[in-house]
Amino acid sequence: MLLYNECTMGSHLRRVQKGIGVRSSADPRTHRSELTSAGGARSVRQNQPEARSGLPAVGSKLVNRYGLEFVVESHVHVPTTNSLESWRQGQKSDADLYPSIIPQNLSEKLMSFIAAVDRCTPKTLLVLDTMPHLRRGTGTPDGHWVDTLGNSGSNLLFIDAAQIHETHFAHEIGHMWVQYVEHAEDERVMEDASDPARLHQLSFVQSFVTDLRVNEVIAEKGFDGSMIQADQAASVASLGRAIDAGYRPENRREGVFMALVLAAQIIEEHKSGANTLAKLNDTLAKVARLDGELADLATGFAGIVLQNGYRTRDQILASIDGCLILAFAYTGDEIDLERH
């Protein structure tokens, strides 16, 4: 497990790398932000929320498993899917407090990609470490996502900083590219935020489709997509082993997520040929023996995307709509695509 270490706060902490917008008093866009910063002093007192939450002090440095370096700039309260309804009611907690971190050594290729996206939006980019290995409930180990809608002044990039590879970083910037450059991201959200599981299901389906386009974008930008493909294949293989060990979806919403993992691999193998088809067929066969309806759901998701496509906004929305209808019908939930 990697931990932050104290480092000397020098001018490098405030030196903004080209293309990354970091909140500061000199940034006029900060005044449009609804984020609240907690702390900011190098010496953290025990009664401050970041100290109570076990967060690293301002100025702390992390070098992760892939050699990427991050320095803590501040601590920021932000809402997530799990706490959105509470925020709407004016309730905040230390669980929504995250270290705001500045990457120190991203490659020139990634910096150029970030700069290209940055020119297309007035929002700053705020990178937040979820620290899931130390703070359960704040994120998923190896999980990364970007929130471009939750704040009026900042694009929020949530990362597991200890585990992120530059390719994964590029993938999240790719979502911003699809939104701000290609104008093809699905920006629809639920009106009712009282059921986090329902919100997650919407997000999973949207990400399942847009990830396909994003992976193409980062490949076009010269990033090594084989790592993401390997992660995907490993997830399917892990799922197969879990089934062998007795794993069963606890509920139908978990089944949807499981089916989306399989569907993504079905589509990948449809594009690339039969290189890993045996692995998928084995896992899919195991799922089919366990639950034929669930296996049909996975192939149904893949079929919708292969039929509608995922390269233009119209194709992406058509694929998402079809998958949403299928997913929410499977879980027994109602969804109105015009209103929700």
* DSSP per position, 35-50: -EEE---SSPPTTSHH
Residues 113 and 210 in one domain: no
Over residues 89-118, mean pLDDT: 90
Task: Report the alpha-carbon distance of residue 64 to residue 80 in Å, rounded.
Answer: 24
Residue of 244, 229, 178 whose CA lies nearest to 206 = 178
Last-in-domain residue among 146, 180, 214: 180
Residues 231 and 91 in one domain: no
Burial 45-65 (b: 16+ CB within 10 A, else e): eeebbbeebebbbbbbbbbbe
Over residues 105-112, mean pLDDT: 96
The reported pLDDT for the residue numbered 10 is 31
Of the pLDDT bands very low, low, confident and very high (cuts 50, 70, 90), residue 52 is low
Each residue's pLDDT tens digit, 239-276: 888 888 888 899 999 999 999 999 999 998 888 765 55
The reported pLDDT for the residue numbered 202 is 94
Residues 60 and 130 in one domain: yes
Residues 156 and 211 in one domain: no
Contacts of 281 (CB under 8 A, 6+ apart): none
Task: Report the alpha-carbon distance of residue 234 to residue 268 in Å, rounded.
Answer: 13
pTM: 0.83
Task: Report the alpha-carbon distance of residue 319 to residue 267 in Å, rounded.
Answer: 13
Residues 292 and 325 in one domain: yes
Is the pLDDT at 291 greater than 60? The verdict is yes
Residues 82 and 135 in one domain: yes
Task: Report the alpha-carbon distance of residue 305 to residue 267 in Å, rounded.
Answer: 8
CB 101 within 8 A of CB 71: yes
Residues 174 and 200 in one domain: no
Residues 201 and 173 in one domain: no
| For the chain, percent of residues with pLDDT exceeding 70 | 79
Over residues 107-122, mean pLDDT: 96
Using the Cα atoms of residue 53, residue 68, residue 70 and residue 128 in order, give the sign of their dihedral. negative
Q: Which residue has the tokens 């930008």?
A: 221
Q: Which residue has the tokens 């992120």?
A: 164
DSSP assignment of 22-78: ---TT-GGGGG---EEE---SSPPTTSHHHHTTPPPTTEEEE-TTS-EEEEEEEEE-
Among 45-59, 62-76, 105-119, 179-193, the minimum mean pLDDT is found in: 45-59
Domain membership flag for residue 190: no
Last-in-domain residue among 115, 146, 180: 180
Q: Angle at the Cα of 172 (from 30 to 24), degrees rounded to 5?
A: 15
Task: Report the alpha-carbon distance of residue 232 to residue 238 in Å, rounded.
Answer: 10
Each residue's pLDDT tens digit, 199-213: 989 999 999 999 999
DSSP H helices in 137-195 = 166-180
Residues 11 and 146 in one domain: yes
Domain membership flag for residue 185: no
Domains contained in the chain, number:
2
Last-in-domain residue among 148, 180, 212: 180
Over residues 71-93, mean pLDDT: 78
CB 4 within 8 A of CB 72: yes
Domain membership flag for residue 313: yes
Is the pLDDT at 41 greater than 60? The verdict is no
Among 13-27, 68-82, 279-293, the minimum mean pLDDT is found in: 13-27
CB 126 within 8 A of CB 23: yes
Residues 165 and 248 in one domain: no
Task: Report the alpha-carbon distance of residue 264 to residue 270 in Å, rounded.
Answer: 10
Q: Which two tokens stand for residue 60?
A: 């702390």
Residues 201 and 89 in one domain: no
Q: Which two tokens stand for residue 192?
A: 């009712």
Each residue's pLDDT tens digit, 215-243: 999 999 999 888 888 888 888 888 888 88
The reported pLDDT for the residue numbered 274 is 57
Identity of the residue numbered 244: D
Over residues 310-315, mean pLDDT: 97
CB 249 within 8 A of CB 255: yes
Task: Report the alpha-carbon distance of residue 314 to residue 44 in Å, rounded.
Answer: 50
Of the pLDDT bands very low, low, confident and very high (cuts 50, 70, 90), residue 169 is very high
Bigger pLDDT: 34 vs 201: 201
Of the pLDDT bands very low, low, confident and very high (cuts 50, 70, 90), residue 38 is very low
- Name the average pLDDT for the chain: 82
Of the pLDDT bands very low, low, confident and very high (cuts 50, 70, 90), residue 33 is very low
Please give the radius of gyration of the chain, using alpha carbons only, rounded to the nearest integer. 20
Using CA atoms, how far residue 239 sits from 5, 138, 221, 283, in Å, is: 36, 23, 31, 7
The two beta strands, 145-147 and 124-129, are unpaired
Domain membership flag for residue 121: yes
In the beta sheet, which residues pair with residue 145? 158
Task: Report the alpha-carbon distance of residue 287 to residue 236 in Å, rounded.
Answer: 11
For residue 212, give its domain range: 196-331
| For the chain, percent of residues with pLDDT exceeding 90 | 51
